[in-house]
């Protein structure tokens, strides 16, 4: 793994490929997250993170069109705004404050909470729209290791369903997906 900016650039590039690869009519396809369609995967990323940054670090990201109007453009504007934030030399000196996590360097907060979310939701969007579901195995392993260590806190957050049982010899991506309560 590289810097927060490098990691976001790599993860967002793959998600962007999946966003651009959604076929005509595919935005309404059911997603693995209960009650969501493909469009909602993009909506989630575009809507929760700007509020998190604004309240925790006073950072405003550029706003694109609504996800309902144009999910590709909404994602593109959002993703480019996050990348510009991470590429800015000023970001290294900023801190994000949140009552649940305390004070965290802004670039680390983006990497930990947001880039990881984009990475996981890449699988959701790919699964919903019939695209390549493969995720970087090294990133899967690192994310799974950190999540297993925080299992109780993650489950109590309500953001993850019960673990799905998979064979002990399942590959790391399958184990990660199952850990988060998704059916691989």
| In a shared domain, residues 125 and 93 | yes
**Position 155 pLDDT exceeds 70:** no
| In a shared domain, residues 129 and 144 | no
| In a shared domain, residues 80 and 114 | yes
Return the beta strands (E) in the chain as ranges. 95-98, 102-105
CA distances from 22 to 15, 56, 114, 177 (A): 11, 33, 22, 21
| In a shared domain, residues 24 and 44 | yes
- Residue 153's pLDDT is what? 74
- Under 8 Å between Cβ of 46 and 15: no
Q: Give 31: exposed, middle or buried? Use CB within 10 Å, 0-12, 13-18, 19+.
A: buried
Q: ∠ CA(77), CA(82), CA(85), 5° rounding? A: 125
Mean pLDDT of 60-87: 97
| In a shared domain, residues 21 and 110 | yes
Mean pLDDT of 56-60: 95
| In a shared domain, residues 86 and 173 | no
| In a shared domain, residues 36 and 122 | yes
Measured distance between the N- and C-terminal CA atoms of the chain, rounded to whole angstroms:
25
| In a shared domain, residues 87 and 106 | yes
Counting the structural domains of the chain, the total is 2
Average pLDDT, the chain: 93
- Boundaries of domain holding 55: 4-133
């Amino acid at each position: 793994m590289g810097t927060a900016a490098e990691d976001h650039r790599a993860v967002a590039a793959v998600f962007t490929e999946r966003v651009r690869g959604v076929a005509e009519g595919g935005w309404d396809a059911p997603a693995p997250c209960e009650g969501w369609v493909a469009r909602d995967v993009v909506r989630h990323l575009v809507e929760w993170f700007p509020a998190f940054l604004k309240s925790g670090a006073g950072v405003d990201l550029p706003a694109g069109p609504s996800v309902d109007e144009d999910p590709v453009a909404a994602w593109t504007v959002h993703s480019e705004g996050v990348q510009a934030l991470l590429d800015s030399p000023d970001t290294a000196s900023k801190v994000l404050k949140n009552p649940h996590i305390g004070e965290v360097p802004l670039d680390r907060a983006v990497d930990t909470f947001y880039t990881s979310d984009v990475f996981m939701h890449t699988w959701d969007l790919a699964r919903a729209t019939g695209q390549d579901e493969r995720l970087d195995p090294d990133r899967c392993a690192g994310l799974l290791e950190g999540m297993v260590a925080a299992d109780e806190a993650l489950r109590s957050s309500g953001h993850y369903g019960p673990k799905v049982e998979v064979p002990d010899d399942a590959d790391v991506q399958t184990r990660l997906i199952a850990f988060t309560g998704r059916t691989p």
